[in-house]
Amino acid sequence: MIFGDYRPDRHAHPSRTKNQSTLRRRLLVSCFGLGLMLPAAGSAEDLSAILPTLVSNHNLIEAARSDLSAAQERYQVARGGYYPEFETTSNWGHEYQTKPADDNTSLAFSEADFSITQRLYDFGATDATIDAAKLTVRQYEAQLTSTEQTLLLRGLTAYTNVARAKEAIGYAERAENNIKKQAELEDIRVQKGGGYSSDVLQAKTQLAGAQARLVAAQGTLKVARNSFKGVFGRFPENEADMSRPALPLHLIPANVEDAVAIALDNNPQLTAAQLSADIADETRKNAEASGFRPTIDVVADVKYKKNVSGTVGFKREALGKVEINFPFNLGLTAINTLKAAEQDHTSVLRRFRDARDQVEEQVRNSWAQLEVARLNSELLRSQAELAEAFLDQARRERELGQRSLLEVTQAETNLLNASSDAASAEADVAIAGFSLLNAMGQLSLDAALNQ
């Protein structure tokens, strides 16, 4: 179960439910409660602008498209097996013949030969070659889809991490400024004889912690910017306007078993692995037909000769025939070729089955990560709400003289830190959700833009 009922009770953890059939509704409610349904703000880094460019111009996309184009050309080459072969040979020179019973000849000769050969039947060898080439095209199409989905996940993750880090810096800077002001006030009070040195030390201790948190957030932002550049080819702009992308909730299944079933049908990497097994099977068929069956061709030859073989003058020869060829190596290498093809098919089939297991594991892990991220996000949001309630109470007690200003400042800092942690957890939910969709083979451009 991914999303249970979420009630912002300050004194209780979020309740859970075992009913997975209402998961999508709870996910929707939770996402509204946690702010995950807000699309990225319109800016220079609008996802609707940068993601289409990413899946159109990235080097990996261009490489995958080139692979697909090459496979399509090879398919056309394979289809050439259905068409006749035309061959021409021309030669000329000087021929001298010594004849014991006739006059010797010395002639300049020329000859032009033209031949057309049409394959009539080869017991499925050509069909297997063409089918393998067609399957290879489909395989590269699946690999292109896989590349697009992987890039989309990388782009969404990089974008979300920049937005997360920028938001964390905002919280950290506010916390640092609050504590810095309080430390200065406590220092002034001590200098005037109205404060305590221990309060100054405590304020400075809190300030050091806030500054360390800010430095960590700034370092995280640098790493996130580098990741963004690694994906999009440039550093992000207008980071303050970036926000977490929206999850396409209609693509999130009701339970993990549904997610696994969708992945086994739609994961492009698994599709490519299945096609590899099919290609190996066609290769086996070709090896069997080529090694143990003859080929039957119809051949038409026309030859134009002048002064050839000591015969003076022009001569034309025309020939039509049906030809059966059956080359067979007496070392029985055809058997070895067939056995090798069979073993290749077996090995690829085993790898496909392993790929199915890996995809299922990936989906289950992604589901578990999404569940943990969601629960963690709810708990941290609850913590932030409790911190806010405590701050309200501390301020009232401060007005009654029951708490020091330093304690109120600490409560404000705790609220900012809790809010920052909750926002970071919300980003984890978004990334985990997109990772699940990627494992299921559902992370298209429309899904990434929540269209």
In the chain, where the domains are located: 20-83+124-168+221-293+332-448
DSSP string, 318-334: EEEEEEEE----TT-HH
DSSP β-ladder status, 314-325 and 295-306 = antiparallel
CA 56 to chain centre: 14
Q: Which pLDDT tens digit goes with each residue over 373-428?
A: 999 989 999 888 888 888 888 888 777 777 777 777 788 888 888 988 899 999 99
Q: Which pLDDT tens digit goes with each residue over 275-312?
A: 999 999 999 999 999 999 999 999 999 999 888 877 78
CA 388 to chain centre: 41
Q: Comparing 6 with 276, which gets the higher pLDDT?
A: 276
Helix (H, G, I), strand (E, B) or coil at 7: coil
pTM of the predicted structure, to 2 decimals = 0.80
Of the CATH numbers 1.10.357.10, 3.90.1150.10, 1.20.1600.10, 3.40.50.1370, which one belongs to the domain with range 20-83+124-168+221-293+332-448?
1.20.1600.10
Q: Determine the pLDDT at residue 242.
A: 84
Is residue 19 predicted with pLDDT exceeding 80? no
| Contact (Cβ atoms closer than 8 angstroms) between residue 368 and residue 436 | no
